[in-house]
Structure 1
Amino acid sequence: MPFAFDFLDDGRVLEWTVTDDGADPTVVDDYTPRFFVGPRDPEADIDLARLRQCYERHPAVAGVEVVERRPGFRRDPERLLAVDATHVDRVASLARQARQLDAYPVGELACYNVDFTREFRYCLERGVDPTPTGDLTTLSLSVPFTETATDTYETLTVGGDTVTGNPATILDAVATAVATRDPDVLVCSTAEIVPTLYEMAARADMGEFTLSRWPGVDSQQLAGQSTYTSYGRVGHSPARYNVPGRAIVDESATFLYDETNLAGVLDLVERSHKPVQELAWASIGTVLTAIQVREATARGVLVPWNSWRHELFKSMDTLHDADRGGFIFAPDMGVHEDVHELDFSSLYPNIICTRNVSPDVIRCGCHRDRADVPGLDYAICDERGYLVDVLKPIIEDRDAIKAAIREERATDAPDDDRLAALEGRSDALKWILVACFGYQGFANAKFGRIECHEAINAFAREILLDAKQRLEAGGWEVVHGIVDSIWVRPAPDVPASDRTDLDTLAAEITDAVGIELEYEAAYDWVAFVPRRDDSAGALTKYFGRLADTGEYKIRGIEARQRSTPPFVEAVQRDCLDRLDEAQAPEPVLQRLQAAITRLRAGRVDPDRLTERVRVSKPVDAYTQYTHTVAALERARDQGLAVHPGQDIRYVVVDDAKASRDRVALAHEDIDTYDASYYETQLVRGVESVLSPLGWDRTDVRQWLADTVDGTLAAFDG
């Protein structure tokens, strides 16, 4: 089966299939991508014949016909106009012209199957499975951050070997590696490596240099760079490039490849039919959409270009009841011993599958008198929803993969390569399942519906409350619960002889709700951290020592935050050890004092004080002069482009200054740092460790001020 597809300017398509000695192309010269146009309102009186005449005269149209298709899951087949384009890049522009036709008022016409990526469209329309039949060979190309500001590389890492020198040396090394390995996939630290290498070759008069497998076509730019916002988080999408015959993975813009591995990517390729290159740069929601589009296509349903679903009427009482999240049982702030964590397996996806929550069947017209969703007057049709067919195979396959991982780990000599592949696949499916719930409430989701989002939350609240009641009736006290997890400990007023064991209770709850409640972990102790502004427990900040491994499970505090400097993280983790050993604050504070002594003495490597911060907007858009702004100004002075959504790394060298000199970029030669600033970071980190014991930052500072540590411990490295 082909794994890569190239679209030539003359309309031909190249299908690349892995072979024993490389990859072979198949030339397809009869591909005409298709989209559909019809009335948005099925009752509207629109003359398709006139619309057909407009398109038939267009030079970019290869053919037009009237067909019957379903424009949505809740609509029967209707007469629509099918338009075949001469080239895949003309589909969107042709569809836009449907909105501009003078013969029809704006809003009357709707377009379908328009905004597919081109390789995915090709596979969908031609029925091609882009999962490679053989192993893909890869070649990594990596350039240092400092080189990204130049148009000529002096250093480039090729296949793990760092090459330095003039352009001819760099290009020869790349050409040799490409000829030797003949890679199917180019894994680039940034996709800008591709055009930069070609520009270097042109200036060096090395016209024979190429990365392509197809003569005469070197590379193509598919899209320019852009900045976007997703769930309140700013991201950066770099420019995308294509090299005929090879897939490109841009490590600076690939979530799924970064969070999984090639095995995980290929698993999702098989499920979504998005080829390797497109899947590598795709978001989780985009992959989920592709899987849903395949299911819709199998059911004969077209995909709307833009989402125009209105929210169905709700009474004020229903709106009040529906506008709620999942179950939350505020944590009992402090340190608790003998705590057990139980989690519902893939709760939200399983709610969708066991309760038949799907956009096409929620609030159906055939069961208006039913209230199937707890607390809401929503009916769910008896007909099986399409979303169940999308998610059920993923849930079942991930369960099977997790079982295979446990089995492999239990062997005397686990196969590391097999484990890595299984874990990559498991992680890939996990992210799809994580996204499926939130996607139902996403305004631009192709098939989402807010009522599904509300129904899933309603079922989840009922399930967690039922589990809480059963656990308490069995002699356990709930100390924390959120969304799909519950932490319990033996109820102090219930004798052990009257307490039901957790395995029995978990099995009973599983049978009652139809979703497996798994025993996740036992803790020797677990500490729930209070919020910064009051004594109430923070919902997602806790740490504890696992009973079976002795390791710590940490959530929310500094050691888990991506911006925390390595030195601060190491000290905080060391303080957890001290807390575990002594169950008292003094040893923790002594460790803090020793770290501060090292810091003030200048004996901490500045590299270990590097902060990594995600840029949220252009430098000139910031209103406060933060460390990030200072770092961005330094980067700009050095010709380094850092876009919103990308990370910048720096060390604070003099926080008292109100200029770019208050920080130094991580790649610069740094021989000093602001000890006072990092001391504050250390105190904050230790406050998180001691706050479950009732200590706050003021208490920590007071102890440091009152204590003089002249012991060797203060100088312990």
Structure 2
Amino acid sequence: MEVEFYLLDVTYEVSGGEPHVILWGITRSGERVVLRDRRFRPYFYVVASDKASVEALARKIRALSDPESPIVDVRPVDKRFFGKPVKALRVTTVIPESVRKYREKARGLSEVAEVLEADIRFSMRYALDNGLEPCGWHVAEVAETPVPSRYRVARAFDVTGFIKPTGDTRPPSDLRVLAFDIEVLTESGSPHPERDPVIIIGVKTSSGETRQFTAEDLDDKKVIAGFTEFILDYDPDIVVGYNSNHFDWPYLLERSKILGLKLDVGRRSGGEPSTSTYGHVSIPGRLNVDLLNYAEEIPEVKLKSLDVVADYLGVMKRSERVLVDYVDFPKYWRDPEKRRVLLRYNLDDVESTMGLAGKFLPFAMQLANITGLPLDQVGAASVGHRLEWFLMKEATRRGELIPNRVEKEAEPYKGAVVLQPLPGIHENIAVLDFTSMYPNIMIKYNIGPDTILRGGECSSEEHNVAPEVGHCFLREPQGFFKGVLQALLALRRQLRAEMKKHPVDSPEYRLLDERQRAVKILANAAYGYMGWVGARWYCRECAEAVTAWGRRTISTVIEHAKSMGLKVIYGDTDSLFVENIPEKVKELADFVEKEMGFEIKVDKVYRRVFFTEAKKRYAGLLEDGRVDIVGFEAVRGDWAEIAKEVQEKVTEILLSEKNIEKAIDYVRSIVSELNQGRIPLEKLVIWKTLTKQVDEYEAEAPHVNAAKKLRRMGIMVEVGDKVGYIVVKGPGKISERAEPYMFVKDPRLVDASYYIDHQIIPAALRILGYFGVTDTQLKKAAGSAGRRSLFDYTRKTQG
């Protein structure tokens, strides 16, 4: 019989001395099922040295067999390694953990050149070999079996024949998602599970149900037990949290042990959550997704707290939700009136988490489907690892052996072209972007670790020779990366064409859009991946050649634009800022496409944009009224929110109204409000990351002193943590007056002069200073300015 199912996850277990691949899924009728494949066995490849006899080497490898996990097969296979045919043996054993042992033994044989693919996890090996696509529908030839008592599913099957994806990635109509958030009460600094109880666990389901499990005073045994029971009753397919991989789940697991409970929440009884690859927490039969992984990929948001990210993405406004610092939990918990506020705070967190799931999961599911990494892993994996799994899928499909990962020293190379901008105000500017410039360069010049010439004679007839750096790449045959990238870009074109057939607000459009976005990210990561020292397909020369061709390409386009009389204002990597003269812009785009073989298009048009003399620093007003700010304090991480707000507002006034005096008056009004203690405290928090242990700092930086104060309160902060502080009034250096933000409750304690002189005025002057405005002008009383235009000031600086 055949069964069609939506694949959630792939795992394995050893039972009766043999490995079973376990597939967790959902059928079309909504049944949660488990499929077991008992036939698959772990293996790896041995590449023989040039002069070795494959038959003799096979006999030697068979002689390594150990009865605990015997070598059951050694067979020659037709494979390529970096594009070249090799003499390879596929070595198969029984127990997955034994692969590592045999790998080391095989490496010791003198006839062996390489031992490959011995570091691929058994369940992922099965997924690669069968082309499985997580978060997608599959069909398999199966035999139904009784459901083993250890599985919490409706039906069970043994895979007896084929198993393959259908290409359908639409999620089941009844896919069940559960969002959760925990609150911990601590009275002595950082929460510690051996001491501090979980006082609230809030949950919300995709069907709309909301529940809270609360402690009886400080007894949290029923909280965790109730939460566990709810998960088993609701039986979610996906569990989402925010920083749940590094806080909620580890805390619940440790707290459960102390209370004598078992956090048995999976679809395999007795299988507690556990930390797995990439640092994610794995729940048997369910997909645990930490949404913080996706929030961390939003560069515009410097503080990745749940409330800030939810506000930024339009899920829940910070101004409309309850905010409570965890150091205040004890007084809220013990006061019956305030406890209601704390419960509302938890619900707001849960609502925000579910709202973010709606924003992030569609993309994450498409990313999982394309890369082959299960949904719970793909978010925690780096962009490099995501691309690498896609490359591993393609290598398996194309008969290419997968290289080992060998850590190396980082080797720098020259980057992209960044032009010196023409400083000043510019009206009506078009931004031209090359479409997938670096992937297309890799395709055009057949760049890859399998096509590079290392030694031998380089000729322009047979090779593509990179400008400046001189690296040579074979024109023929087609390289691995060229083939993969052509497939990715063709898929993206196909998806974008399909999108046009559906209304923008339709589910079909959204699914296709998320998929094409995932494809774009993977394609654009290929160049950087080759320059990443942790990559299996590492090739520094390849990455260096791509940037060299990129520099020549954009320089050629700039020269052609100038020859047409089209003024170029700025250029950066794969984009150009030019006068928006439509007929000339079109002529330039035609030249790029027809003469150079690249696609370039107008990405955006600025009604007005200004540049300083510095590269990568500009601000522009888009046609729809939005303001773009690049390279100023507004997007840096070590400035208070109020500085960012001031800079954005100043830029908006300047570019929208061309009114310098109004911008000056606005800054003066903020200065006045600061002096009166009317700026909300949360806008004054300065965040800085600890790059080393607190005790290792020699200089007394404000965030380091704030971290030391936190430690004295029992709140441990480690390398990589962000420390938030507010500068308060008092004697001594600024660094000595940096207080952890949660301990500052009275706005009158804030050192307004510090924020005016070191935050507000400098942030505003990074924009206004260009027009000749001084700090003295900004500190005058509000309302004292005249009414001169932007261009009155511009003439001073451009004359």
Q: TM-score, normalised by structure 2?
A: 0.74
Confirm or deny: 8 A CA contact 2:619 2:629 kept in the other structure.
yes
1:74-119 residue CA offsets vs partner (Å, 9 max, x unmatched): 43221436242503x44445434555x4x659xx753211333454
Q: In structure 1, give the amino acid aligned to 2:614.
A: A
Q: 1:624 and 1:140, CA in 2 relative to 1: closer, same or farther beyond 3 A?
A: farther
Counterpart CA distance in 1 for 2:610 and 2:298 is 31
Work out which of the residue numbers 231, 234, 237 in structure 2 matches 1:184: 237
Work out which of the residue numbers 440, 457, 479 in structure 2 matches 1:385: 479
- Give 3-state SS (helix, strand or coil) of 2:271's partner: coil
2:285 match: 245
1:540 corresponds to 2:616: yes
Counterpart CA distance in 1 for 2:632 and 2:522 is 26
1:583, distance to aligned residue in structure 2 (A): 3.3
1:615 match: 690
Q: 1:109 and 1:670, CA in 2 relative to 1: closer, same or farther beyond 3 A?
A: farther
Work out which of the residue numbers 79, 95, 108 in structure 1 matches 2:103: 95
1:513 match: 596
- Give 3-state SS (helix, strand or coil) of 2:546's partner: helix
1:252, distance to aligned residue in structure 2 (A): 4.1
Counterpart CA distance in 1 for 2:751 and 2:122 is 51
Q: 1:193 and 1:650, CA in 2 relative to 1: closer, same or farther beyond 3 A?
A: same
Q: 1:115 and 1:79, CA in 2 relative to 1: closer, same or farther beyond 3 A?
A: closer
Confirm or deny: 8 A CA contact 1:71 1:304 kept in the other structure.
no
Q: In structure 2, give the amino acid aligned to 1:373.
A: V
1:37 corresponds to 2:49: no
1:409-457 residue CA offsets vs partner (Å, 9 max, x unmatched): xx6xx52766654554344333323321111222332123233223322
Work out which of the residue numbers 196, 205, 220 in structure 1 matches 2:251: 196
Identity of aligned residues (%): 22
**Larger mean Cα displacement after TM superposition, 606-615 or 287-296:** 606-615
Matches within 5 A, 1:138-537: 138-143=177-182, 149-151=191-193, 152-159=197-204, 163-165=213-215, 166-175=219-228, 177-189=230-242, 190-191=244-245, 192-204=247-259, 206=261, 210-222=264-276, 239-253=279-293, 261-307=360-406, 324-363=414-453, 368-370=458-460, 371-375=463-467, 376=470, 378-402=472-496, 414-415=504-505, 421-489=511-579, 500-529=583-612, 537=613
Confirm or deny: 8 A CA contact 2:408 2:533 kept in the other structure.
no
1:532 match: none
Q: In structure 2, give the amino acid aligned to 1:663.
A: A
1:684 corresponds to 2:770: no
Task: Figure out how many residues of one structure are paired with residues of the other and give that number.
Answer: 659
Give the alignment's Cα RMSD to 1 decimal: 3.6
Q: 1:429 and 1:681, CA in 2 relative to 1: closer, same or farther beyond 3 A?
A: farther
1:664-702 residue CA offsets vs partner (Å, 9 max, x unmatched): 444445324332332211122112212443x4xxx6323
1:275, distance to aligned residue in structure 2 (A): 1.6
1:257, distance to aligned residue in structure 2 (A): 8.5
Q: 1:275 and 1:55, CA in 2 relative to 1: closer, same or farther beyond 3 A?
A: farther
Q: In structure 2, give the amino acid aligned to 1:250.
A: D
Confirm or deny: 8 A CA contact 1:67 1:81 kept in the other structure.
yes
1:710, distance to aligned residue in structure 2 (A): 6.3
1:659, distance to aligned residue in structure 2 (A): 9.8
Counterpart CA distance in 2 for 1:663 and 1:180 is 48
Q: 1:374 and 1:30, CA in 2 relative to 1: closer, same or farther beyond 3 A?
A: closer
Counterpart CA distance in 2 for 1:601 and 1:520 is 44
- Give 3-state SS (helix, strand or coil) of 1:339's partner: strand
Counterpart CA distance in 2 for 1:67 and 1:156 is 56
Q: In structure 2, give the amino acid aligned to 1:241.
A: V
2:776 match: 702
Counterpart CA distance in 2 for 1:98 and 1:652 is 62
Confirm or deny: 8 A CA contact 1:156 1:162 kept in the other structure.
yes
- Give 3-state SS (helix, strand or coil) of 2:774's partner: helix
1:215, distance to aligned residue in structure 2 (A): 2.1
1:484, distance to aligned residue in structure 2 (A): 0.7
- Give 3-state SS (helix, strand or coil) of 2:559's partner: helix
Counterpart CA distance in 2 for 1:73 and 1:636 is 52
- Give 3-state SS (helix, strand or coil) of 2:85's partner: coil
- Give 3-state SS (helix, strand or coil) of 2:82's partner: coil
Work out which of the residue numbers 615, 618, 625 in structure 2 matches 1:550: 625
1:25 corresponds to 2:34: yes
1:232 match: none
1:470-511 residue CA offsets vs partner (Å, 9 max, x unmatched): 222222111111111111127xxxxx8xx9431233123222
Counterpart CA distance in 2 for 1:615 and 1:568 is 21
1:342, distance to aligned residue in structure 2 (A): 0.7
Q: 1:400 and 1:594, CA in 2 relative to 1: closer, same or farther beyond 3 A?
A: farther
Q: 1:418 and 1:175, CA in 2 relative to 1: closer, same or farther beyond 3 A?
A: farther
1:59 match: 68
Counterpart CA distance in 2 for 1:586 and 1:137 is 55
1:256, distance to aligned residue in structure 2 (A): 8.5
1:213, distance to aligned residue in structure 2 (A): 1.0
Q: In structure 2, give the amino acid aligned to 1:630.
A: N
Counterpart CA distance in 2 for 1:601 and 1:256 is 35
Matches within 5 A, 1:643-682: 643-653=718-728, 662-668=737-743, 670-671=745-746, 672-679=749-756, 680-682=758-760
1:6 match: 11
1:41-65 residue CA offsets vs partner (Å, 9 max, x unmatched): 5347896357525630263455351
Confirm or deny: 8 A CA contact 2:422 2:611 kept in the other structure.
yes
Matches within 5 A, 1:571-586: 571-581=646-656, 583=658, 585-586=660-661
1:522-570 residue CA offsets vs partner (Å, 9 max, x unmatched): 22211113xxxxxxx3221111111x21221221212223444322222
**Larger mean Cα displacement after TM superposition, 639-648 or 557-566:** 639-648
1:111 corresponds to 2:110: no
Confirm or deny: 8 A CA contact 1:22 1:182 kept in the other structure.
no
1:355-378 residue CA offsets vs partner (Å, 9 max, x unmatched): 322322233889842252353362
Q: 1:689 and 1:444, CA in 2 relative to 1: closer, same or farther beyond 3 A?
A: same
Confirm or deny: 8 A CA contact 2:47 2:86 kept in the other structure.
no
1:641, distance to aligned residue in structure 2 (A): 4.8
Q: 1:452 and 1:417, CA in 2 relative to 1: closer, same or farther beyond 3 A?
A: same
Counterpart CA distance in 1 for 2:86 and 2:26 is 40
Confirm or deny: 8 A CA contact 2:70 2:94 kept in the other structure.
yes
Counterpart CA distance in 1 for 2:65 and 2:730 is 67
Q: In structure 1, give the amino acid aligned to 2:178.
A: L
1:587 match: 662
Counterpart CA distance in 2 for 1:501 and 1:173 is 68
Confirm or deny: 8 A CA contact 1:198 1:210 kept in the other structure.
no
Counterpart CA distance in 2 for 1:655 and 1:344 is 54
Counterpart CA distance in 1 for 2:486 and 2:730 is 53
1:634-679 residue CA offsets vs partner (Å, 9 max, x unmatched): 4444554544344343333359656987334444453243323322
1:123, distance to aligned residue in structure 2 (A): 0.7
Q: TM-score, normalised by structure 1?
A: 0.82
**Larger mean Cα displacement after TM superposition, 377-386 or 193-202:** 193-202
